[in-house]
Amino acid sequence: MSTRIRILATVCLTIIAAGCAASEGPDSAVAADGAAAPPPPAAPANGAGAILTGAVSPASAGFPSVVILESGAPSDPAAPPLPEDPVVMDQIGLDFSPDVLVIRTGRIVRFHNSEDVLHNIHVIDSRSGESVANVATPAPGSTYDLAFEKAGEYAIRCDVHPAMAAFVIVTPSPYSTIAAADGAFSLHGLPPGSYTLVVWNFDEARRRRLPVEVTGPETRVDVSQSS
């Protein structure tokens, strides 16, 4: 837990002091002003799609990398509707579980307290440093639902227990996943085409944003050692 305490302190100081200036991430600009966005890749005819596998930056400070594949279009007409059921982030064992979530814009996260301990949910927009929500979750069994309507990175903390830290990464893309601790990942059901590969990592120096061409049936990339 001592490592997480130092990490959270660093996050908070960065947010307050720097105002969280924009950095590489899922909501960074991908084209120059006035540039026309390319059309989204066509949906696969058989519904199976291509596979993208590979390796990205390994986990930093215990937080795994997030992998997002963006089509470059303002919206993807082939994207499935948002599920009605919320995604759950639990408070258990004086920790958040999972400690990293990646969700589509507009998805609801249900914060749940599963232990006989008073917690709270403090959600901070990492770009602006503004508090999005700050509510108590009394023990046990209380919940709080929050819809994330804006793409970006959100730091989640419990003010009662400063060692508790988590992140919610929000993207409009329907193609995203959490990498394994060693950076291995796979994305399935992709329409072949040109994309931007976005890698979020707790360590900003390990974040990546680069073009990738997805071709069937499987494409492999390795950016785990790129600088």
Homologous superfamily of the 1-30+107-171 domain (CATH): Cupredoxins -  blue copper proteins (2.60.40.420)
**28 pLDDT higher than 80:** no
What does the mean pLDDT of the chain come to?
82
Contact 199, 169 (CB under 8 A): no
pLDDT digits (tens, 9 = 90+) for 133-192: 999 999 899 999 999 999 999 999 999 999 999 999 999 999 999 999 999 999 999 999
Round to whole Å and give the CA distance between 10 and 26. Answer: 22
**50 pLDDT higher than 80:** yes
Quick one: the chain helix, strand, coil %, rounded to 5?
10, 40, 50
pLDDT digits (tens, 9 = 90+) for 73-92: 555 556 788 999 999 999 99
**What's the topology of domain 33-79+173-227?**
Immunoglobulin-like (2.60.40)
Percent of the chain scoring above 90 in pLDDT = 69
Give me the residue spans of the domains in the chain: 1-30+107-171, 33-79+173-227
Q: Does residue 213 sit in helix, strand or coil?
A: strand
Domains 1-30+107-171 and 33-79+173-227 alike in fold: yes
pLDDT digits (tens, 9 = 90+) for 91-119: 999 999 999 999 999 999 999 999 999 99
